[in-house]
Chain A
């Protein structure tokens, strides 16, 4: 158990809909990351937050948005869903401090299926 909690574990929704994925980082961690994993594109970095502020942006679509709240939990919002958005979405966290060598701890992921 990494200490990173993600909900829901599984989600099935229709095209055009909007969903919210939730993440609680490890206790004490200030950084939260979101990744998308799919068979055709592998593991893609979406976005990182540090103590409530956006720190780095990756291959995140405009239809997707994220935020980190004062209690450090984070949400990833996916809207106008398309079939190609079906994937495993990981949240991860790392310890305080802007140290590039920090280990990233991953949650078990949220499986999103768009039908």
Chain B
């Protein structure tokens, strides 16, 4: 069965520091992978997604993620955190032939001044 695991329900970084949010997936077929962000009192919005092709995917607001099949991972990174990045981040997976997108439990990112 397909699943998504996000390591760390809370991550705290200092402003200007590297952001690394971890996501591992389980899938018996090639996955489609997503990162969504939820700002306070808002719905989720897409940050970036991997479908096919280049394994390094760039998204909005300076975020990027790399699909590593051998590690079944899709970690989200940003070189320099900004206060406005404080939000909850969700990794998600779907797959050809399936109708569901499966979301991870989410990681709340705190950015310290």
Chain A residues packing against B (C-beta within 8 Å): 2, 4, 33, 35, 42-43, 45, 48, 50, 55-56, 58, 90, 92, 98, 100-101, 103-109
A66 to B108 alpha-carbon distance, docked (Å): 30
The distance from the CB of A112 to the nearest CB of chain B, in whole angstroms, is 15
Partner of A108, one of B36, B42, B99, B105: B42
Q: Apart from A2-B45, A35-B103, A104-B46, what 8 extra A-B contacts exist at CB < 8 Å?
A: A42-B105, A50-B99, A100-B95, A100-B101, A101-B51, A104-B101, A106-B43, A107-B43
* Residues of chain A contacted by B34 (CB below 8 angstroms): 103
B74-113 residues with Cβ-Cβ distance < 8 A to A are 90, 94-103, 105-106
14 of the cross-chain contacts (CB-CB < 8 Å) are A4-B43, A33-B101, A35-B103, A43-B90, A43-B103, A45-B100, A45-B101, A45-B103, A48-B99, A100-B97, A101-B49, A103-B46, A104-B44, A105-B45
A103 to B106 alpha-carbon distance, docked (Å): 18
Partner of B100, one of A58, A107, A108: A58
Is the interface on chain B under 10, 10 to 19, 20 to 34, or 35 or more residues? 20 to 34
Partner of B98, one of A35, A100, A106, A108: A100
A55 with B101, Cβ < 8 A, contacts A4-B43, A106-B44, A107-B43 known: no
A58 to B44 alpha-carbon distance, docked (Å): 19
Main secondary structure of the interface of A (DSSP, over half): strand
The distance from the CB of A106 to the nearest CB of chain B, in whole angstroms, is 3
**A58 and chain B: residue at smallest CB distance:** B100
* Residues of chain A contacted by B99 (CB below 8 angstroms): 48, 50, 55-56, 98, 100
| Residue contact A101 to B32, C-beta cutoff 8 Å | yes
| Residue contact A90 to B44, C-beta cutoff 8 Å | yes
The distance from the CB of B113 to the nearest CB of chain A, in whole angstroms, is 26
